[in-house]
């Protein structure tokens, strides 16, 4: 069992097929199949069941996958540490951010951090909280910045910023003249909301459930900007982060509505895997986030 075979194994698990794994690894399919076969022979276990043309992990396969991911993480950390020792002026930090943070905060965070560390490579990904959480587990990113609740024990969560969601409507909506509504009136409206896995949606649904307020979801969009445009067009009402609507509120294109007795409060969180090695670059970025100087 070696690093290459473990990499092939985890890639097959991630891709769900030998052919897709081969394409991702720039290998031939027979070479991928041979690597898996050799692993099974070396370990004297069966790693996959092939049912209805699908590859499904056996119990030994699930156990090996957990160890393989940890081993691959350790190898990458060793390589990264050697780079840090060899040259502290270079480095790479992979960032993932959920949609609201990624759209409205992350660009400035990276810009100001880059001013202090000019030769650091900071690739980043933006998706919903659920996807960012998964990327951490797969070691596709080093640090995540999310607005939604985290449910996995392997992930460390550190709050770093307060946020509040507000109901918004078009300037032409009947609510626009009221600015404050009773909880009972929201059930009559068409709600435009983010997709499942979105931190914004989870906070909204949890808060509404906590206060026993009925509501009706009419449209599901996976982009905050699209939601704002739909609300501007008076297609429905929505709930979004306050940081996402500053310009629209200032210009009068959208109206912020208060729901009597209800606030949609949440924390923006820094998240990372509990086994993640904290390089000097990692620690510097955490300090930059917690300083708020961006």
pLDDT for res 86 = 67
- CATH number at 89-160+268-291: 3.40.190.10
pLDDT at 85 over 70: no
Among candidate residues 155, 121, 124, 123, the one with its CA nearest the CA of residue 138: 155
State pTM to two decimals. Answer: 0.65
Q: Do the strands 217-220 and 54-57 form a parallel or antiparallel pair, or are they unpaired?
A: unpaired
Condensed to tens digits (0 to 9), the pLDDT of residues 73-82 reads 999 888 887 8
Tell me the CATH architecture of domain 3-85. Answer: Orthogonal Bundle (1.10)
Backbone phi and psi for residue 197, each to the nearest 5 degrees, phi listed first = 100, -15
Kindly compute the dihedral angle of the four CA atoms of residues 118, 121, 126, 128, in this order, to the nearest 10 degrees.
Answer: -110
Higher-confidence residue of 271 and 54: namely: 271
Backbone phi and psi for residue 254, each to the nearest 5 degrees, phi listed first = -125, 155
Q: Give exposure, 171-180, as e/b (b: 16+ Cβ within 10 Å).
A: eebebbeeee
Condensed to tens digits (0 to 9), the pLDDT of residues 7-58 reads 999 999 999 999 999 999 999 999 999 999 999 999 999 999 988 888 999 9
Give the DSSP letter string of 261-292. TB-EEEEEEEEEETT----HHHHHHHHHHHHT
* Burial degree of 37 (CB within 10 A; 0-12, 13-18, 19+): exposed
Condensed to tens digits (0 to 9), the pLDDT of residues 208-249 reads 999 999 999 999 998 899 999 999 999 999 999 999 999 999
What distance in Å separates the CA atoms of residue 141 and residue 198, rounded to the nearest whole number? 18
Residue 89 to residues 73, 79, 85, 115: CA-CA distances in angstroms? 23, 16, 10, 13
List the chain domain ranges: 3-85, 89-160+268-291, 164-265
Among candidate residues 221, 198, 207, the one with its CA nearest the CA of residue 100: 198
Of 30-39, 137-146, 204-213, 276-285, least confident by mean pLDDT is 276-285
Domain 164-265: CATH class, spelled out: alpha beta
What distance in Å separates the CA atoms of residue 276 and residue 136, rounded to the nearest whole number? 9
Average pLDDT for residues 142-157, to the nearest whole number?
91
Give the DSSP letter string of 68-126. HHHHHHHHHHHHHHHHHHH-TT-EE--EEEEHHHHHHTHHHHHHHHHHHSTTEE--EEE
pLDDT for res 88 = 60
Helix, strand or coil, per DSSP, at residue 147: coil
Element (H, E) at 129: helix 129-137
pLDDT for res 16 = 92
**Domains 3-85 and 164-265 in one fold:** no
Average pLDDT for residues 256-274, to the nearest whole number?
94
pLDDT for res 79 = 87
pLDDT at 288 over 80: yes
Condensed to tens digits (0 to 9), the pLDDT of residues 151-206 reads 889 999 999 889 999 999 999 999 999 888 998 899 989 999 999 988 899 999 99
């Amino acid at each position: 069992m070696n690093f290459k075979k473990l990499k092939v194994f985890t890639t097959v698990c991630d891709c769900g097929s030998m052919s897709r794994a081969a394409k991702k690894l720039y290998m031939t399919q027979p070479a991928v199949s041979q690597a898996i076969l050799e692993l099974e022979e070396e370990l004297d276990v069966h790693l996959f069941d092939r049912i209805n043309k699908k590859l499904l992990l056996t119990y030994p396969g699930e156990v090996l996958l957990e160890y393989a991911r940890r081993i691959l993480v350790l190898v990458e950390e060793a390589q990264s540490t050697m780079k840090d020792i060899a040259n502290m002026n270079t480095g790479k930090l992979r960032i993932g951010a959920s949609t609201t943070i990624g759209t409205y905060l992350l660009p400035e965070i990276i810009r100001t951090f880059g001013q202090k560390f000019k030769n650091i490579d900071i690739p980043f990904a933006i998706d919903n909280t659920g996807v960012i959480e998964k990327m951490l587990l797969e070691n596709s990113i080093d640090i995540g910045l999310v607005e939604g609740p985290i449910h996995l024990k392997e992930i460390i969560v550190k709050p770093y910023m307060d946020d509040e969601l507000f109901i918004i409507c078009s300037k032409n909506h009947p609510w626009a003249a009221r600015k404050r509504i009773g909880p009972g009136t929201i059930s009559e409206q068409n709600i435009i909301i983010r997709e499942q896995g979105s931190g914004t949606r989870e906070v909204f649904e949890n808060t509404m459930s906590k206060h026993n307020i009925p509501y009706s979801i009419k449209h599901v969009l996976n982009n905050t900007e699209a939601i704002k445009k739909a609300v501007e067009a008076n297609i429905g009402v929505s709930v979004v982060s306050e940081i996402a609507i500053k310009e629209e509120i200032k210009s009068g294109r959208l109206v912020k509505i208060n729901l009597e007795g209800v606030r949609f409060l949440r924390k923006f969180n820094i998240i990372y895997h509990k086994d993640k090695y904290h390089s000097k670059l990692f620690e510097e970025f955490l300090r930059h986030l917690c300083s708020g100087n961006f």
